Structure 1
């Protein structure tokens, strides 16, 4: 086929060596056939000049043949294109153009319909490469614009192919195809919606493809901002930053819209520090951000009031005029930080600027200020802001009314809150579910449970058509008595004059709290919630657990908690804390600690309320294990970053330690007053925990360095009680007990750290109160019979260090580590006496 096409192509140009028939020969040039023949003179003497034959018939024939050949070749090329044989089509096209035919003339003779049919055929076969690489590139080489080859039919074929690639998610092939078409000045916007291509790139987390696609449009700056924002909505800050850097490289001047968008995205992704870095980069380049960039920066950092105020001052210093949005963000930041006075100052400044005509307050200004007062329970101030709002001609919206109702509800003013709700209805406001819930919550907080249920019933039946302050709502309704165990679900009324009430999960959660200890009514509310298509959340289940436990059914409350795991719902810290609180309230400390351990198993982090609740699980300690449990919780609490009030725990620990003195004629009221001797930075509980750890079971050394005499007393008693319980469990004494007091210079009676009389207090406790034998044991003391040295590794290290210093400095007295020793025989005798006198003195208590 190609050979035949080559022959056809060569036939389109007439050969130059063969003259046409009747071609005139020069008179002086001899013929190649006869050398003797001579030209005969013309008989007419007037025509002695040579006579040339006319060329018009010959040229016409030549042109006619050329036209026929061109027509034939264009028809052949059209047929080849229709059959999708673009390679052969291009060979014919190149030959025709090479023969001297203008590309425009050749293009005019082509059958555009045939070419469109061929393109559609090839694209339907999925051979996009043939169209792009061969047809487009080949036509461009011979000087033909490929776009002119496409009509409505072929363009529709391209559109279908683009949609197919989009639907299949082949983003790389689609973007490459778009780049090729755009390079030939093709209107790619007509082929596929640009937002759909961008969405595909976003969904596949491919910022590079999105950037390449955007670069094909003249308004790429706007598209870059859209790409940055869409990646931000997906919480993909890294891809958004990639698009932002591409936007900077493709623009000669800073695009403030892009800067504002990336700062907003930093806020969406929770990386406010990155927003500050971007802002500082602008300032480092001596570029002044506009007011919108400043607003976005302040809004993203609104939780940091100091930074927001600093940015505002910097904005004024650079000469950027603040607008009402700027001041609104400052009010928002004050609201978050609960800075009421500062918010009032800013609000006053806004009012002054408004009186001068410098700016105009909007509904957000007043709503934010009202919320500031609502959170601070300053309901009168909130109502004053409402009056300013009405005076300025700003119409309150639903958010404004919600904040006003919340201000009165937070202050416990149920009647005032309901009055505002009625006022909103009279003003044509459309209450949302939050407004309804605020009123219900106010009733519950004020213990007006009956009223909450009456409001709920009225709203379900009549929507918000009837004012809730009507007397019929305050009347008693036996059908809605608190002790009823069923709640009837009724259809909602869609009255034309009222706003339909659509309860939410929060609505039912509030009503469940109003059930008190009526578990069956709370359970009926949860069932009704499910019938309405609402899903109970963690608060719903926690409330149900609390109601069940409040009725005294501890086992039922625990069963509800267990059922959450069975239904595939992971209980949160609130659910577990509620269950632990129930166990503590009903004197079930072991069950409470079991639930606390279960939280650790499911990797649920306790909060401050959880720790405080579990630490009050016991009113007294009966065993070493119970003390160790509480001390372990206390240490976890400190490690988690909470600052516990350990006063109560120290009291229990001291009481447990003083239990060693039972039957020793000890005044039980004596130790209770000593708890006040603990300083605010006391490490008593840490020291007790250290000495009571099971890992220190074999350690018979008690370190009292740095402790007060009250703390030292408790530490010694704690270790002795530990020894006593181990002895009862069958562990006998194998060694003496060493008590480290502190460092002392040779020849001095003062022991470092003994200014509070630790030594005398410990000796009095051991010898007088407990009847144990105590010996002094110093690092340089004699080691005769009964005076064996029991030093710890720390003490030996200090002794060696001090001895070395003494040898190097003879003018300095050497330091020795002073210790007391309680012999094994003395401890054994004391333990035996305790067992004989009171064998049940430290029986483990079970609750």
Structure 2
């Protein structure tokens, strides 16, 4: 800011004499006299120094009498001229000195030349200094109680609008929001300056949720804008920013707003994080706030994939007395559909019908359509058609989704003719078929193995533009009349509508299934899909793998899939594993399974079952260990398989130990059905055949039945035999733990039966020498009726498995008895030599 004297000296205006009367000739601007000009030019310039505030005590204006209107007018004109030249710092200095005088200051503001000031503002804006105008000039106006709106004419407003859009274009989010906030404080029409949706879009694209909420606070309909902001973040899949905006909105709105809560719950569903929606709901309950019907509906809809949770929310609505509308029941039906629970869906449907008969609710097209889809997915086409009759009786007109679901119900059952008839009825009813309807017709042909008909249908779409031509093509083999299904003339005109058909990826996937085993035809369809701008998805690649018919070819397709930028998922890998198993390339199948684990792709139930059924019999210890590892991984993943098939294979592999015996090895085959649903057999076998336990010759048979104990013992003996053939010698005795009991406790009959069965197996069937005995342990004393416990037996582990405490130091604790069998290493060595000799002979 410059010195006031310098300001006046540099202008073309000479201040009047305040004591002299104003001359009528000198009204506004005066050209200086020659003496004044000479004085101005001959005066030495003052050294530059820091300017002082321009107040009523400033050097030049200290003697001015502000009650003289002519003087007030003069300085108003001077300030206007400074503003017109863009010198707003000087303008504000003069204005500040005048305005502090009180009433005369308001009169001074009224004397300002608004057009000149506006022209100066326009000049500054055209120079790209919008920040100076908004943050400096307008702030100065506020300090001086000057209304800036009066100093902005149309030209200045357009310049301001243009500069605001320039800031918006360069993506300066914080700056444009700050400008809008300041301008709103001055009562500027910010809606006319920048479209609000443009600023919100910028905030969304730049991931600035806090700035977006700050901008929304400017408007009276702040809650609507907040919902829009949260929803837009959700559509972008940006749940983090949506949650930040949600938290920021709490400060703006004060009390919980049901519209905002419903929106954030919907966004959790859009982003696939239904668990977060539950947390938000629980937070709302913690605030002692009862959600309304719409919030409950959104919560159920987002969690529709979990039928149990959805039902719990429904019961919570009942408990809290929240009114349930038809949308609540529609969402329940949707959840039943996703869970494939047809019985519960029927119960809910009957309940809604009952409520409708009482006048409490009115079923809508979504209710009927959802119920039809429930039956369609279950391949129950007759009940689906019955729902259509209920719908028509209630006076509800089916929409495109309804007709599509009806066609799908028949298509899933392979009823091509009924699907075509429904398509015809839709056209007569004035319905407009979409691509999904046509895809369902294709699917019907594929399910009925009418592959040629599916391709004719597809070709008719490419040749025809009307639904009439399509139906005529479809019915050419089944109808001899020129009118498909005997349509009337009035209906014929409706069939000339344009078919809104655009092939989708799903369309080509269905056609690829129709290729059967023709790999090259399916590959050409995939190439055609790409030429139309469609991207093959995981289903496309999985179908191609299923058709290829070779494990090595399947691996090549997986590689091509990755090169195309699509990472194989569990379905794709499972399909490749199935192809390998069908071609008896078991080694490659297990290799693909290992590759899945490498890429952290979790196998599903189909993957595990396909691998466990890959072999018809086991030939080596490694194969058994491999399948048992898959089985254990399956159990850890939470799956409960039907392991009867695997147990039979393990039993056959174990029985191979005594296949050279002269005894009847089939005597135990009748006991194979003795496996319980939760038996420990496979866990025990897997435990004893693990690589980490390969050196241990201790067998724990606790909790097993006679048949299971036999298989575990045979499994360990087979492992010993295979290792012996590779050069591993027997170093220790084999110990078999039968039970661990407290001294004096009765022996169960099952344990006696297991002991007898194992002794008979070892002595009679295999010719091994068996020593029977027990170890008494307790009170810091140890006695053995036969031999001391071998080095391979960890007593603490045995006690832990038996449920007994491992610490034995207490003198009051009763001793325990370890019931066990022992096979000496010499007996095992002689048995192995006999087996080897029999094999050679």
TM beyond 0.5: yes
Match of residue 587, structure 2, among 590, 597, 604 = 590
Q: Is 1:832 matched up with 2:833?
A: yes
User: Residue 619 of structure 2 aligns with which residue?
Assistant: 622
2:774 touches 2:784 (CA, 8 Å); kept in 1?
no
Which residue of 2 is the match for residue 523 of structure 1? 523
CA RMSD of aligned residues (A): 3.7
Q: How many angstroms apart in 2 are the aligned matches of 1:732 and 1:649?
A: 30
Contact 1:509 1:540 in 2 (8 A): yes
Moved more, 621-630 or 117-126: 117-126
- Summarize the alignment of residues 532-681 of structure 1 with structure 2, pairs less than 5 Å apart: 532-549=532-549, 553-681=550-678
Q: Secondary structure at the match of 2:471?
A: coil
> Which of the residues 752, 757, 762 maps onto 2:758?
762
The verdict on how the C-alpha distance between 1:600 and 1:83 changes in structure 2, with shifts beyond 3 A counting, is same
Return 755-764 or 677-686, whichever deviates more.
755-764
Give the whole-Å Cα distance in 2 for the aligned partners of 1:723 and 1:236. 58
Q: Residue in 2 aligned with 1:468?
A: 471
Q: Identify if the C-alpha distance between structure 1 residues 6 and 619 changes in structure 2 by more than 3 Å, giving closer, same or farther.
A: closer
Partner of 1:844: none
Write the distance in 2 (CA, Å) between the matches of 1:350 and 1:792: 68
Pair 1:734–1:328, CA change in 2 (3 A): closer
Q: How many residues align?
A: 773
Mapped to 1, the partners of 2:312 and 2:166 lie a distance apart of 53
2:502 counterpart residue number: 502
The within-5 A match list for 1:779-798 is 779=775, 787=787, 789-790=789-790, 792-795=792-795
- Give the superposition deviation at 1:690: 1.2
Partner of 1:732: 729
Relative distance call for 1:148 and 1:823 in structure 2 (3 A) is same
Q: In the alignment, what sits opposite 2:229?
A: 227
Q: Counterparts of 2:321 and 2:691 in 1: how far apart (Å)? A: 68
Query: What do the CA deviations read for 1:491-546 (whole angstroms, capped 9, x no partner)?
Result: xxxx9644153222212211221222222222222222223222222212221221
Which residue of the other structure, out of 246, 249, 266, is the alignment partner of 1:264? 266
- Cα deviation, 1:694-725, whole Å, max 9, x if unaligned, reads 11222122222222222222222111111111
Indicate how the Cα distance of structure 1 residues 595 and 822 shifts in structure 2: closer, same or farther if over 3 A, else same.
same
- CA drift of 1:69 comes to 4.5
Could you list the runs of 5+ residues in structure 1 that have no partner in the other structure?
Answer: 21-61, 477-494, 841-847
Partner of 1:691: 688
Alignment-derived partner of residue 458 in structure 1: 460
State the shift of 1:649 in Å: 1.1
1:400 Cα deviation after fit: 0.8
For 1:808 and 1:798, the matched residues in 2 are separated by 21
- How far the C-alpha of 1:401 sits from its partner, in A, is 0.5
SS in 2 for 1:383: helix
Counterpart of 2:812 in structure 1 is 808
Distance 2:564 2:307 in 1: 44
User: Structure 1 residue 273: deviation in Å?
Assistant: 5.2
2:430 to 428, 431, 441: 428
Task: Work out whether residues 698 and 793 of structure 2, in 8 Å CA contact, stay in contact via their aligned partners in 1.
Answer: no
Rounded Cα–Cα distance in structure 1 between residues aligned with 2:67 and 2:795 = 121
1:505 to 1:759, Cα distance in 2 relative to 1, 3 A: same
**Residues 237 and 454 of structure 1, relative CA distance in 2, 3 Å threshold:** closer
Map of 1:734-749 to 2, 5 A cutoff? 734-743=731-740
In structure 2, what is the Cα distance between the partners aligned to 1:407 and 1:128?
64
- 1:271-420 alignment runs, 5 A limit: 271-272=273-274, 275=277, 289-305=291-307, 308=310, 311=313, 322-351=324-353, 354=356, 359-420=361-422
- 1:123-158 CA distance string (max 9 Å, x none): 344434432343222222333112222112222222
Cα distance in 1, alignment partners of residues 358 and 644 from structure 2: 58
- C-alpha displacement of 1:803: 11
1:674, 1:519 → 2: CA distance? 47
TM-score, length of structure 1 as denominator length: 0.82
Range 418-427 or range 129-138, more displaced:
129-138
Native 8 Å contact 1:462 1:498 kept in 2: no
Query: Per-residue CA shift, 1:623-655, capped at 9, x if unaligned?
Result: 111111111111111111111111111111111
Aligned partner of residue 735 in structure 2, secondary structure = strand
Q: Does the Cα contact within 8 Å between 1:743 and 1:751 map onto a contact in 2?
A: no
The unaligned stretches of length 5 or more in structure 2 are: 23-63, 480-494, 777-781
**Residue 589 to residue 153, structure 1, CA distance change in 2 (3 Å):** same
CA gap of 1:598–1:286, structure 2 versus 1, over 3 A, is closer
Secondary structure of 1:757 counterpart: helix
Residue deviations 1:214-251 (CA, integer Å, cap 9, x gap): 22222223222222322333344454444445545444
Residues 775 and 787 in structure 1, CA contact (< 8 A), matched pair in contact too: no
Which 10-residue stretch deviates more, 706-715 or 128-137? 128-137
Whether the 8 Å CA contact 2:625–2:689 is kept in 1: the answer is yes
Residue 341 and residue 208 in structure 1: after superposition, are their counterparts in 2 closer, same or farther (change >3 A)? same
82, 93, 96: which one aligns with 1:94: 96
Over 3 Å counting, the alpha-carbon distance change for 1:613 and 1:737 in structure 2 is: same
Distance 1:768 1:233 in 2: 74
* DSSP 3-state at the match of 2:161: helix
2-side partners of 1:725 and 1:633: how far apart? Answer: 21
Cα distance per residue 1:164-219 (max 9 Å; x no partner): 22222222222222222222222222211112222222233333222221222222
Is the contact between residue 405 and residue 438 of structure 1 (CA under 8 Å) also seen in structure 2? yes
CA contact (8 A) 1:454 1:473 kept: no
525 and 278 in structure 1: CA distance in 2 versus 1, 3 angstrom threshold: closer
Please give the residue correspondences for 1:196-275 in structure 2 after superposition, counting only pairs within 5 Å. Answer: 196-251=198-253, 255-272=257-274, 275=277
SS of equivalent to 1:838: helix
In the TM superposition, residue 105 of structure 1 has moved relative to its aligned partner by: 4.4
* Aligned mates of 2:269, 2:119 — CA distance in 1: 52
How far the C-alpha of 1:554 sits from its partner, in A, is 4.3
> What is the rounded CA distance, in whole Å, between the counterparts of 1:133 and 1:823 in structure 2?
96
Structure 1 Cα separation of the partners of residues 817 and 266 of structure 2 = 66
- Correspondence for 2:41: none
Q: Check the 8 A contact 1:363/1:394 in 2, yes or no.
A: yes
Is the alpha carbon distance of 1:808 and 1:384 closer, same or farther for their aligned partners in structure 2, counting shifts above 3 Å? closer
Match of 1:33 in 2: none
How many angstroms apart in 1 are the aligned matches of 2:378 and 2:293?
31
What per-residue deviation string (whole Å, max 9, x for no partner) do you get for residues 234-284 of structure 1?
A: 344454444445545444766443333333334334454554565566666
Q: TM-score, normalised by structure 2?
A: 0.83
SS in 1 for 2:666: coil
Change beyond 3 A, Cα 1:361–1:102: farther
Shift of 1:622: 1.2
Tell me the CA shift for residue 839 of structure 1.
3.6
Any idea what SS the aligned residue of 1:81 has?
helix
* Whole-angstrom CA distance in 2 between matches of 1:92 and 1:471: 89
Cα distance in structure 1, aligned partners of 2:806 and 2:592: 51
Deviation at 1:457, TM superposition (A): 2.3
Query: Aligned equivalents of 2:319 and 2:599: distance in 1?
Result: 53
Match of 1:511 in 2: 511
Quote the offset at 1:431 in angstroms: 1.3
Which stretch has the larger CA shift, 581-590 or 269-278?
A: 269-278
Larger Rg: 1
How far the C-alpha of 1:88 sits from its partner, in A, is 0.8
The 8 Å contact of residues 777 and 788 in structure 1, kept in 2 or not, is answered as: no
